[in-house]
Structure 1
Amino acid sequence: MDETIVKVRKSVRYVRSSSQRQNTFKLCAEKEKVEFKGQLCLDVPTRWNYTYIMLGKAEKYQKAFKRLEEEDPNYLMTIREEEKEDGSDIDEVAWGMGDVDWEKMRIFSKFLKIFYDATLRFSSANYVTSNSFFLELMSIHDTIDLEYEKDSYLLKKMADYMKTKFEKYWGNFDNMNHLLYVGLVLDPRYKMRYLEYCFGTLYENQKAVDMAKRIKVVLVDLYNAYAQNQVGSSSASAAAQA
């Protein structure tokens, strides 16, 4: 994907580098009757979520970029010069973004969307997010596994690496905060039954059963702690009234 992403990044940077180029690109979009009206976004290479946004917006302007290659001779020429300055050995005839590049963008954007959406939901400040944590975790787990099992030269290798990372951070139950599971159980839409189902898809049978038992122990301990606190508060209140 790196080669395609670099092409998109250089193309977006070219368009955004001056108001004249932006106007030319806008005319290309109008001639191709592109309905999307959003601004092109230049990513931050170290932030994957910005790369996702860049690819998603650029993909909607595919026809406009194709037209820009025809109507602006400086477009590909400028990028080729940048490549030469970077020391890259490129084919000057075939450098522009082809159908394969656009297809890669669509596949990659679709794959990253699940992570982008999860990030937005986790970052919310206007509603509780603890009860959605495990649902998002399961969705990410299933997405990675699906791509890992596919015979896809584009995503299989990346999914393999991500699967290893996932197991490192989330594969060991002992390292996880049990309260994140409690948040799901206390959501009346899911309760304990759904958590047990999720454990069954993540782990072997006996381990799934053991994990469910441990969460039940945590729930009982929490209840007892709150009950004891309530009794203490009631006693103190009665003593004060006496």
Structure 2
Amino acid sequence: FVELHGAHSGQNMASAVASVVSELDISNKLVALVSDNASNNGTLVDHLETELQGASNYSGTRWDSTKGHIRCLSHVIHLSVMSLLRGVKAIPRNVDIRAFNPGDQTLTSEDAEAFVADGNKEADELDDSGIVDSTVDLASAIDKIRKIAKIVRSSPQRMELFRDTAKSIEDYYEKKALSLGKRYTRKTVKNLILDVVTRWNSVYFMLERALEFSEAIDSLTSHPKVKIFRAYALSKADWESVALVCKWLNYFRSASTMMAAEKYPTLSFSLRIYFVLIAYVSRLEESLEVQGSAALEAGIHACKSKLLEFFDKSTFDSEYYYFATILDPRFKDSLFQSSDGLTSSLFSEDWLIKG
């Protein structure tokens, strides 16, 4: 990698890229540049076009910076999901949702469990005053889980209390099953996960783990002798809202994981993933569970707007998405046929999960 001196402006980065392209003598072979969606990358491609045209060894077809800029879909997914979480006030509004770690695409629950959330802007700073929906307060539910996870993980004694509580619940179900002559597969007791609010996958794993051990959490918040958890008791509506958003995040995680592949090209998937995600969010937008909540409506609308924004930018500017799709023998021109039956099979809601 080339060390970049000075500010990380688009112009400086363009000069660095142009220098490498010239050194490798590939200026006439340059097709596209893939980047995340930071504003300085837009400046980069504009200046790179000028830099290449001014190079002494440049000849032949002019490189088109507009067509040749491929926007990272994984980063688009990140921006969309973070917009969703910020829209429902599940993360502090002052969090920079543009911050993106490519490694998050392959993040596992084990990785998330190992995080030490130093400097994490947690629920102490969460401003949920804008949420007026008293029936399902998603921010409040996630806030409670975040606080419980923080308390449990704050000391070995509390972590042991949580694990003993979860183990006792497993003992109860095993004993009950045996009394009925049935087999019971014990659940492995795991620690709660504390999220890092700039990493939506960690929010997903925090909620998923909380749902897995919801009975243990409820037991802690109603413990007769341990009062520290009582203020964070979750209602049935709280748990339902957490399960709802966890389901949504799992769907986006499937798309993100597919785009993280390194052993096969992914550009030909991009249009299909855009179509599927936009259709999925549109269905959510029209669902009764979302329309009944001002907070959820705001989050889903923000998510859809971000997807549409970058879908328009990407597919209007660059024809390479279409070329890649047509050249993929699995798709060819099928994405552009108007048959309702074909469309429903190509864009079925469970395609990402199956994939």
TM-score by length of structure 1 reads 0.68
In the alignment, the residues of structure 2 paired with residue 104 and residue 31 of structure 1 have an alpha-carbon distance, to the nearest angstrom, of 26
Asked whether the equivalents of residues 184 and 190 of structure 1 are also in contact (C-alpha less than 8 Å), the reply is yes
- Asked whether the equivalents of residues 274 and 307 of structure 2 are also in contact (C-alpha less than 8 Å), the reply is no
Contact 1:13/1:42, CA 8 A, preserved across alignment: yes
Tell whether 2:251 aligns with 1:114. yes
Q: What residue in structure 1 maps to residue 165 of structure 2? A: 28
The secondary structure found in structure 2 opposite 1:40 is coil
Any idea what the Cα deviations from partners look like across 1:167-199, whole Å, max 9, x if unmatched?
A: 22213576343222322222222211233349x
1:41, 1:186 → 2: CA distance?
43
Higher RCO, 1 or 2 (CA under 8 Å, sep at least 6)?
2
Cα deviation 1:100-147 (Å, max 9, x = unaligned): 111111001111112112112212223322222222212211111001
CA contact (8 A) 1:150 1:156 kept: no
Alpha-carbon distance in structure 2 between the residues aligned to 1:104 and 1:195 = 37
Change (3 A) 1:123 1:176: farther
1:181 aligns with 2:318: no
Letter in 1 for 2:253: Y
Could you tell me whether the CA contact under 8 Å between 2:166 and 2:189 is conserved in 1? no
User: CA, structure 1 residues 117+16, in 2 after alignment: closer, same or farther (shift >3 Å)?
Assistant: same
> Quick check: which one's helix share is greater?
1
Asked if structure 1 preserves the Cα contact closer than 8 Å seen for 2:169 and 2:216, the reply is: yes
Q: How many residues align?
A: 184
Q: Would you say 1:62 and 2:210 are equivalent positions?
A: no
Indicate the SS of the match to 2:318.
coil
Q: Contact 1:43–1:54 (CA<8 Å) still a contact in 2?
A: yes
User: Which of 323, 333, 336 is the equivalent residue of 1:195?
Assistant: 336
Runs of 4+ that moved beyond 6 A: none
Is the CA contact (8 Å cut-off) linking 1:15 and 1:21 kept in structure 2?
A: yes
Contact 2:222 2:233 in 1 (8 A): no
Bigger Rg, which one: 1
Contact in 2 for aligned 1:59/1:106 (Cα 8 Å):
yes
Deviations 1:194-240 (A, max 9, x none): 33349x97xxxxxxxxxxxxxxxxxxxxxxxxxxxxxxxxxxxxxxx
CA RMSD of aligned residues (A): 2.4
Aligned counterparts of 1:53 and 1:196: Cα–Cα separation in 2: 38
For the residues of structure 1 that align with 2:205 and 2:276, how far apart are their CA atoms?
20
Provide the C-alpha distance between the structure 2 equivalents of 1:38 and 1:179, rounded to a whole number of angstroms.
Answer: 45
1:159 and 2:312 are equivalent in the alignment: no
Identity %: 25
How far apart, CA to CA, are the structure 2 residues paired with 1:69 and 1:164?
38
- Matches of 1:52 and 1:176, distance apart in 2: 33
In structure 1, C-alpha distance between the alignment counterparts of 2:280 and 2:191, rounded to whole Å: 29
- Flag structure 1 segments of 5+ consecutive residues without an equivalent: 81-94, 202-242
State the match for 2:176 in structure 1: none
Query: Matches of 1:174 and 1:135 in 2, distance apart?
Result: 12
One-letter amino acid of the structure 1 residue matched with residue 153 of structure 2: R
Which of these residues, 260, 264, 267, is aligned with residue 130 of structure 1? 267
Displacement of 1:166? 2.2
